[in-house]
Amino acid sequence: MAKGLWAALALALASLSPAAWAQLGDERILAAREALRTGDRATLERLSSARDPHVLDPYVRYWRLSNLLARPEPAPAAELIEFLLYEPDSLLAERLRTDWLRRMARDRDWSGFLQLYPDLREPDAELRCLQRNARLENGDMTVIAEVQDRWMDLVDANSACETVFRTLALAGHITPDQLWWRIRRQTDSRNPAAARATLSWLPVSEAPALAEFERATKSPAAYLDRLPPNFSTTRVGREVALAALTRLAREDVAAARVRFDRIEERFAAEERSYLYAVLGHQGALQGSANASAWFRAAGKIPLSAEQRAWRVRAALRTEDWRGVQAAIEALPANEQALPEWTYWLGRAQAAQGRSTEAQAQFRRVAGQPHFYGLLAAEELGETFAPPTRAGAVTADDIARAESDAGLRRALALYRLDMRTEGMREWNWALRGQDDGFLIAAARVAVRNEIYDRAINTAERTDPQANYDLRFLAPYRQLIEPQVRQQGLDLAWVYGLMRQESRFIVPARSSSGAQGLMQVMPTTGKWVANKIGLRNYQANMLSDPDTNVLLGTSYMRLILEDLDSHPVLASAGYNAGPGRARRWREDRPLEGAIYAETIPFDETRDYVKKVMTNAVIYAAMFEARPQSLKARLGTIAPRMSADR
């Protein structure tokens, strides 16, 4: 009897697929991750000492080594090297090198750092900064010229770079003029506190009191209203006043202009030009009709990339096509070649009767599957036709993808709901792969219902092909009835959902938005009350049916509230309907110009992508050409109550 049971068990085990064998070890993987999370070193040591053929076994060993590197004891160099040799070119090898390099930086082992750093495939901003510091500590003086050459581009550098910057500044390799320029840029940012460190690198005789700088930047209007008459006799006094004006302009550009008018003649010409550039930038963001004039008053003062872009948008908002052309042609070549400025330069040329030049610009981007490519094609008389091309994929391609170690690890991680780790593994596995492998990998992702990886993988292939993968339409039996009930456009809903969640049911944003339609709990509660959904609880957002019901209901409500215009409603879904209303103009405005001049970077990008997605989905659903310009339409003037 016993022999029969053992024989049956052996037969059952022998018949298990590799996937089933892998799942037998899942508990060990999950237990190891929990031990890492809770700091249970003994359990982690015990689990890592075992070996089994589970595809995620290297993770258990990596977690143990990562934990050891975080401890104060000396790093286990021999074990680290062994792992790197055993897992060459893997994501975990890259992550372990990163952990080890950070440990070397903490230990100030700069020679070891420089030996290991070249093996890193994709160093992040922090490690690039630490590498400069390691070189400087080892006497490599070429770092000085490298930092000086890129000083204007390093304003937003990782905080790990501050050690190098401080060392060079205190040694006199960075001049006070360069430091003040950095302080200005940092003050004109979302994190003005970053300027404190740079202030401390100024020579004592040329630095303001930190308390005074804090008053100027935290309460700029009050500070400016109490400026002493002799504030402008020193550079320090003028720079602190500029900092206050800059911070006030970010809050209220009109109030900043009033105060600047009182003291403008007290500043040097370069200082006035700098402040006019700030006013132009903030004026454009706040919808001031004076923005272009302020940019012109700035003269030839160097502008940041963001200021250069908003100089174009300020002219575009008022449909000053000559100004649009001048602002685009003043951009550096790499920025001028971007699709947005290629398209808008063509529009500016066309508006001035220079059709031959305009068509040449449009042809540069026409047909590319993005907002400007579709618009440029329409300027040439071509609406977006239903895509027909599918990329070629062979049985060998499928076999390569299915057997790829990185993709197999990614699938196992997704199965265990370790989505962040799974996404990292998936993306790492795609590096340097050909289109055949990528298409096959995208199909593997679809088969496993990992739709975001399918879309992102397909987007790495020929941009004119694989629309069936790049614009998936899953859950249609769930979504379409809700869309029809709400009276919405199915293509628009899919276009928005693709941008919101990439069709990942458990998607959750850092702000708390959840599900297929990324509904915020407070929004869900408001919508539930509006539509009479009883007993609403925030955890209901994890249910796809409820999530789609609330999301499509919200789309309908804001569409009805915003002139039934999908551009406004898309902006409202992302940033709130109140903002979408305020961003209108006092006159009718072309929908494309409205979208281009949305002041929030995220929302501007979002609206353009949602509307482009909607056109492509409509072409696929309806099997006929579609017009993006028609969908963008014209935005009606704002009401007086919205000002």
Q: What is the mean pLDDT of residues 531-552?
A: 94
* Separation of alpha carbons 363 and 349, rounded Å: 14
User: Helices 57-70 and 26-38: crossing angle, nearest 10°?
Assistant: 10
Of 55-59, 236-240, 348-352, 389-393, the one with minimum mean pLDDT is 389-393
Amino acid residing at 555: M
pLDDT confidence tier of residue 456, bands split at 50, 70 and 90: very high
SS (HEC) of 117-171: HHHCCCCCHHHHHHHHHHHHHCCCCHHHHHHHHCHHHCCCCCHHHHHHHHHHHHC
pLDDT digit string (tens) for 282-305? 999 999 999 999 999 999 999 999
Q: Exposed, middle or buried: residue 129 (CB in 10 Å: 0-12, 13-18, 19+)?
A: buried
Instruction: For residues 428-453, give the mean pLDDT.
Output: 97
589 membership: H or E segment, kind and range: strand 589-590
**Residue 231, burial from CB neighbour count under 10 angstroms (0-12, 13-18, 19+):** middle
Average of pLDDT values for 398-417? 97
H/E stretch holding 634: strand 634-635
Given pLDDT bands bounded at 50, 70 and 90, which one contains residue 156? confident
Average pLDDT, the chain: 94
CB count in 10 Å sphere of residue 429: 22
Output Rg (C-alpha) for the chain, integer angstroms. Answer: 29
Residue 11: left if φ>0, alpha if ψ -120 to 50, beta else—which one? alpha
Q: Are strands 589-590 and 634-635 parallel, antiparallel or unpaired?
A: antiparallel
- What percentage of the chain has pLDDT greater than the value 90? 91
Take residue 180 and report the two structure tokens written for it.
């003040």
DSSP letter, residue 626: B
Q: Token pair for residue 116?
A: 């290991």
* Residue 1, pLDDT above cutoff 50: no
Q: What are phi and psi of 590, to 5 degrees?
A: -55, 135
Distance between CA atoms of residues 626 and 3, nearest Å: 70
Closest CA to 183 of 93, 306, 274: 274
Residue 635: helix, strand or coil by DSSP?
strand
3-state class of 91 per DSSP? helix
Q: Residue 244: which of 273, 275, 269, 267 has the closest Cα?
A: 275
Q: How many residues does the chain have?
A: 643
**Are the C-beta atoms of residues 176 and 202 closer than 8 Å to each other?**
yes
DSSP letters of 502-533? TT-TT-B-TT--BTTTTB-HHHHHHHHHHHT-
Do the beta carbons of residue 619 and residue 386 sit within 8 Å? yes
Q: 271 pLDDT exceeds 70?
A: yes
- Is 10 a residue whose pLDDT tops 90? no
- In this prediction, residues 418-424 reach a mean pLDDT of 97
- CA angle 89–93–95, rounded 5-degree value: 125
> Rounded CA gap, 461 and 435, in Å?
5
- Specify the pTM: 0.93
Q: Is 96:62 a contact under the CB 8 Å cutoff?
A: yes
Q: Which residues are within 8 A (CB) of 581 and not within 5 positions of it... i.e. 6 or more apart?
A: 562, 568, 572, 638, 639, 642
Q: What is the pLDDT of residues 13-33, one digit of tens each?
A: 344 444 554 566 899 999 999
Tens digits of per-residue pLDDT, 578-629?
999 999 999 999 999 999 999 999 999 999 999 999 999 999 999 999 999 9
* DSSP 3-state of 259: helix
